[in-house]
Structure 1
Amino acid sequence: MTSVASLHDRLDLAGLDDLLSEEERAIRDAVRELCARRIDPFVADWFERGEIDDPRGLTRELGAMGLLGMHLTGYGCAGMSAVDYGLACLELEASDSGVRSLVSVQGSLAMYAIWRWGTEEQKIEWLPRMATGEAIGCFGLTEPDHGSDPGNMRTNARRDGDDWVLNGAKMWITNGAIADVAVVWAQTDEGIRGFAVPTDTPGFSAPVIKHKMSLRASVTSELVLDNVRLPGDAVFPDVRGLKGPLSCLNEARFGIVWGSLGAARSALESAITYAEQREQFGRPIGGFQLTQQKLAEMYLEYSKGFLLAHHLGRRKDAHTLRPEQVSLGKLNNVRAALDICRTARTILGANGISLEFPVIRHMNNLESVLTYEGTVEMHTLVIGQALTGLPAFR
């Protein structure tokens, strides 16, 4: 049987570890150890049941390790690099996309929105508690009828004296039912604006979405706002239009560029181990040429995806990363990861659909990751516009 260490060594066939500093490898290894202890033994059961045991406890453990808003500075945030954050996302998603989504939504959407666009009072109120996991956030942008076209959202906020009153609904909201604060984007007479909405505000509710076949180890909710009255200082003061929410989405997409590789690596590890142990026609199937071709091609795509993620991470740390480059990474790496999982499933045969192995779980999860934070179509058109200078969205 292949030991984990030797398998990890062989998965560094391309020498990718040489691209990382000693500190970066230490952060990666620490997150990997946390996942092996706290998530991996339980996640298949969470997925099968469609719920995480004690999500608040898990969130506090992630916060204690500095993983929530880890790439932000101040207010109790760890202030780590973009590559550090990317490596953490990779390890979290090697356990499960739903767990990585919890961290991404908390740090790159809810916390980033408050950190980048909120008032000083909002930052002081929420960010330290969110960094430790004592408070959980969600991000309300997508609506039942408006996903890729958020500019036509129907959720609205109107002034009423010194207050704001919000009405509308958001859909497919990670962390919604367990959140303490919801970042909600709404139409106003001044354009689209963002609000920090305490979830105990009268009129706010977050029904859990059931019957998912993907991201089952993740809390997914609808947000309903029925005459939710907020004080005037609940609004983000200095941003209007789609600039606000899109800046947050760009942060989350960067995490997906890395995270999707974790699911791919987990599936590849399973395929290699299975191919060494499974015998047909008198020998391990890993000794057959067609199986080795599959493994080699899977590794090629994984290593190319890692090189792209690493390059984009270094650009982000140098403050030279552009949104279309994030689209490039998200489109390529999620699509490649899904293909790797599908190929791994063929190596495992019928066992590939069993939750005794992680492959079908990753494969199902990636079907959602392929779509959220920008569909294949939208990222394709972002790249197309960057190449031609011609917008093709309408």
Structure 2
Amino acid sequence: MPLRGAGLRLRLTLLSTLLVALVSALLLYLGWLLVGDVAASVPSLPPGTTVRVGDLDVPASEVTSAVGAAARAEVLRAGLIAFPLVVAAAGLVAWVLAGRILAPLHAVTSAARRLSAESLDERIALRDARGEVAELAATFDAMLDRLQAAFDAQRRFVANASHELRTPLSVLRTEVDVTLADPAADVAELRRMGDVVRDATRRADDLVGGLLLLARTEAMGAVQEPARRPTDLRGVAKRALAVVAREARAKGVRVRVDGGPAPVSGDPVLLERVAGNLLENAVRHNVEGGWIEVRTGVRGADAELCVSSSGAEIPAERVAELFEPFRRGPVARIGSAPGSGLGLSIVRAVVTAHGGEVRADPVPGGGLTITVTLPAAIP
């Protein structure tokens, strides 16, 4: 099409002007016909009748024809003068109106061109727009809000991951350098260094594994559904308890399991990771001689897995922070506590990917209750 490369404002103006021109031409033609018909409808005189015009006697039929032709000529003359004026005025009005209508779109385009990862704080914030244009601008601003939140979260995540990975690597380098610099290092010293290196590599391996699992589950929730198979949260919780039973006994933690079946449809491996992370946290962040209570069941259309435990007291306003990467209880960093700090982040990502919700509530006197809610599988 010849107008494809033209600007939208020009195209709208040309189309509007063309439409007005066509309508005006049609009206002019209809007026021309109407005037002729009106002249022809004048009552005719008997045949042979003459009409005196000036000093001449003219047949009545010729006078009628002359009047009709003159009326049509006058309409055509006036129409040919008015037609270009109307078309020009329509073009001017269309150009101005199209400019005012498209101004918000230009603002959106300009904002999009200025955007980069460092300027996501800009907003269009149209105040005078109405209707669909205002909706477009508001949608664009909402998209920018989501993008900025995603970029900020990514920056924090990368910075935190880099910081946490640097800790075990620094331990490795320091231990190796110190041991190699000691000419009197014996077998016992080398074994001690080996134990430290093993613990540091295990921590780094746990951290990398947690990062990969978190990235996998978050991506799964964004682009695809997890594998769906019938799974019982009660069985998942029992298998996870068997894994942490020795560690719980070593700390003198009492464990109680209550509730009934909680059938869901989901990825059994990821759901076992959810229960495992919850119970590992409940044991590792518990107090000596503390307690853990695991409850499962169905409530309405939802299946629930609830893990409550004693532990350090957590302010209610800081509970939401626990689901952020590298946040563990009142401790914000990895260095002074076990684990990678990704457990609850992985739990939230897996539960969200399965269409569920996870909630944390502080226990009076110290500890935490975490409730996972997933759509129950219909038998």
Larger gyration radius, structure 1 or structure 2: 2
TM-score normalised per structure 2: 0.27
TM-score normalised per structure 1: 0.26
